Structure 1
Amino acid sequence: MNKLLKSVIGLTAIPLIGGVLAGPAVSETRELRYAMGHPPGSFVVDAGQAYADAVGEYSNGELSVKVYAMSLLNMAETSAGLRDGIADIGFVLTPYFPAEYPHTNLLSESSMLLRLYGDKIVGKEGLAYIGAMSEFVFNHCPECNEEFAEQNQVYTGQTGGSSYGLVCRTPVKSLDDLKGKRMRVGAGNWSRWVESVGGVGITMSANEMNEALSQGVVDCIVLSAPEIHNFGLTEAVTDITMAVPGGIFTTAGTNVNADVWRSLTEDQRRAMLHAATVEAAQIPFVYHQREDEVLDGLRERGVGFHDADDELVEVTQTFIEQDMDTLATHYSEKYGVERSAEMLSDFRPILDKWVELVQEIDSVDSLADLYWEEVFSKVDVSSHGL
């Protein structure tokens, strides 16, 4: 028997494909399930798909992400569902879960600080705050990462939108207009503001806002303009006042199930972090970009636009300055956040830095690059989340 025949016989365990010896098996792409509570077609889901595409690119095809928009898990289910492995990645709205994520939410609830920077940051509030908060959670808040770990999750960055105003079914211009008004709020800072101006704060899932506003269950929703599009509120809105209260909604947009994270190689974890900068950048950038477009569309529909009077603006400004102490005390006493005052103090210079860093940003790509260079690329993938 010649040597060639012997070698072929010795390879009988290797399958023949079309009469030709098959080569080494090509490794299959691993697909990860990404649960997003926002509806299909929303700006957030568009950003989620951009993140999914980036995961495939940065992992050289080793990983892929399938986005489940308002299907696999809704907003209220995502935290527990990600913890339990129903999803591999989740858009976790941490303010919905105050007891589970108190340290992270302390920082989220201080976002009305952005009003104190005046015109310098108008139109770029989200760009600055997302960079500052991501840097702080990764590098200066071990407690934040511990509370994610307790939920079997790994933090891979923050995201958020544009400034919040009042989306209503009645004109709001003054303190008198706000007295007794029922207003849906998505976080504690806005709830406290509503109470401070004589309103009644109501908490409900964002998925319920359209019905609540349409049926008069609430008079107003504290919300950013692009969310009117995202949640299909166009038909329900009759009046808008964007001057108050300010602040942005932030959340952990690309948290990864801890078991999944541990199963990844270091290169794959790095790819996930790099991809996270794409979503972290696209959401605030697009929100600010689309804000005028959404508002112009509402004007064309005959929605009333109102300015807040001087008294309401002044009361709001005073509230923000005083609320930092209230916030620290509240989180310390109710949730046991021992470093609450220290955290808020340490966060301010980081926010100052990011207000400066985003001044020249003019594209999603440049913002994602900035997030990567300043923060995400410096995360130690050999230890983070492990």
Structure 2
Amino acid sequence: MHSNMLKALGGAALMMAALAWPAKAETTLSFSDNSANRGSRAEAMNWFADELAKRTNGELKLEIHWGQALLKGPAVAKGVGDGVADMGLVIAVYNPALNPVMLLADLPLENNDPWAATRALYELNTTHPALQSEWDNLNLKFVTTMSTGPLQMVCNDKVIDSVDDFAGVKMRGISTYSKVAQDLGANMVSVTAYETYQALDTGLIDCAIFYTYAIPAFKLPEVATDLTTLDWGALMGIAIVMNQDTWSALSPEHQAVIEQLGSEFVDVISEKVIVEKDTTLDTLKKEGAFKFHEFPAEERQKLLAAGAKYFDEWKETVTKAGIDGEAVLQHYQDLLAKWHERRKAQGYPWEG
């Protein structure tokens, strides 16, 4: 009887220990996002979060803090590096001194197909020592990147349909595009994407250079009257990054999942940007949200010519930091050509 009791107690103890000891621990990664949870980029981020949980059987989860609730946009690079958040969205132009090489992606290149350009930048970040060192210095692991797609001009009671029309206009710009607009005579006002609605509404600015898919997401039709399709370059100095210590603590299997998702994310966000550029403009036209204006091809070439000097300026900046700017730029342009040729030969991956 005594023996049977011991066996019963031992069995109960083993069962309780098994119940108290989870088979595999769950880890929730905090993610600092700059925008609200709407629009195609937010949809792509939610896809990333869903797939991360699915492919790790719930062992890794992403908790996204939207609308700068965890870290302000300019604080993300340092904040994630310091461990305030596990992951986050870094916009290079917010910290040019921290991300000088990545700012190459914001130069106004003519080859701005969102998928090909994003693939080229993804490959540059994952293979080139200059960019890998830049992320290492910030204690960050590069995960993936994206393109906003071509930039447009949204105005309130102004029409911009030539380079001469920039003169005297109070304007919100983006990265290098702000410098070009200022060279053309615009009065640049420091306004973030998140402040653009109020700035247009109050008259602080007359116009804003903005990416297509975000125009309705930021509700700009409520405070603007005119839209000019510039199709000018793209904002691409954007990266999803992870704290290097968080990355190192993950299992090799989980690291492989994140790297695979980072690559697939390029296709997911690029498809949304490409498809939604046309559908967004079509919808805005049907809704009568703006008076639409076309920016003539010859004027667009003038825009590109006006931005050419900033390639030299970027090279000088990174060369002072001991980086061969000419070599990095040439490598990026070679990658752009490679991925543009791939697109021409095989189409987009979601079309096959």
* Residue of structure 1 equivalent to 2:168: 180
Q: CA deviation at 1:155?
A: 0.7
The answer as to whether partners of 2:108 and 2:304 remain within 8 angstroms in 1 is no
Superimposed CA distance per residue, residues 171-197 of structure 1 (whole angstroms, 9 cap, x where no aligned partner): 11123311122221221x202321332
> Matches of residues 1-386 of structure 1 in structure 2 within 5 Å?
7-11=7-11, 13-16=13-16, 22=19, 25-70=22-67, 71-106=69-104, 108-114=105-111, 125-140=113-128, 142-169=129-156, 170-187=158-175, 189-243=176-230, 246-299=232-285, 300-309=287-296, 312-333=299-320, 336=321, 338-359=323-344, 360-362=346-348, 364=350
Percent of aligned pairs with the same amino acid: 22
Matches of 1:46 and 1:302, distance apart in 2: 23
Residue 349 (structure 1) shift = 1.2
**Aligned residue number for residue 369 of structure 1:** none
Does the aligned pair in 1 maintain the 2:144–2:240 contact within 8 Å? yes
Distance 1:94 1:326, change over 3 A: closer
Query: How many residues align structurally?
Result: 348
Q: Report deviation, 1:293.
A: 2.3
* SS in structure 1 of the partner of residue 222 of structure 2: coil
In structure 2, the residue matched to 1:121 is none
1:103 touches 1:337 (CA, 8 Å); kept in 2? no
Q: CA deviation at 1:154?
A: 0.9
SS at match of 1:160: coil
Give the superposed CA RMSD.
2.6
- Separation in structure 1 between the aligned mates of residue 217 and residue 139 of structure 2, nearest angstrom: 29
For residues 301-336 of structure 1, the C-alpha deviation after alignment (integer angstroms, 9 at most, x for no partner) is 251111224652332232344443333234445xx2
- Structure 1: tracts of 5 or more residues without a match: 116-124, 367-386
Q: Work out whether residues 175 and 197 of structure 1, in 8 Å CA contact, stay in contact via their aligned partners in 2.
A: yes
Amino acid aligned to 1:248: A
Q: Work out whether residues 164 and 247 of structure 1, in 8 Å CA contact, stay in contact via their aligned partners in 2.
A: yes
Alignment TM-score, normalising by the size of structure 2: 0.89
Change (3 A) 1:93 1:332: same
2: distance between equivalents of 1:330 and 1:200? 25
User: C-alpha offsets along residues 74-107 of structure 1, whole Å, 9 cap, x if unaligned?
Assistant: 323322321232211101112211011111112x
In structure 2, relative to structure 1, the CA distance for the partners of 1:258 and 1:310 (3 Å cut) is closer
- Cα deviation code 1:97-118 (max 9, x no counterpart): 1011111112x12352316xxx
Summarize deviations over 1:338-383 as a string: whole Å, max 9, x none. 31122111211111011122334446597xxxxxxxxxxxxxxxxx
Residue 143 of structure 1 deviates from its aligned partner by: 2.6
Question: Secondary structure of the residue that 2:74 maps to in structure 1?
Answer: coil
Q: Which amino acid aligns with 2:329?
A: L
- Distance in 2 of aligned mates of 1:74 and 1:322: 31
- Aligned residue identity for 1:271: V
Which runs of 5 or more structure 2 residues have no equivalent in the other structure? none
Q: CA deviation at 1:202?
A: 3.1
Aligned AA (2:155):
C
Report the Cα distance in structure 2 between the residues aligned to 1:361 and 1:311, rounded to whole angstroms.
28
Distance of 1:310 and 1:94 partners within structure 2: 29
Q: Is the 8 A contact 1:134 1:157 kept in 2?
A: yes
Closer/same/farther in 2, CA of residues 310 and 296 from structure 1, 3 Å limit: closer
1:120 maps to which residue? none
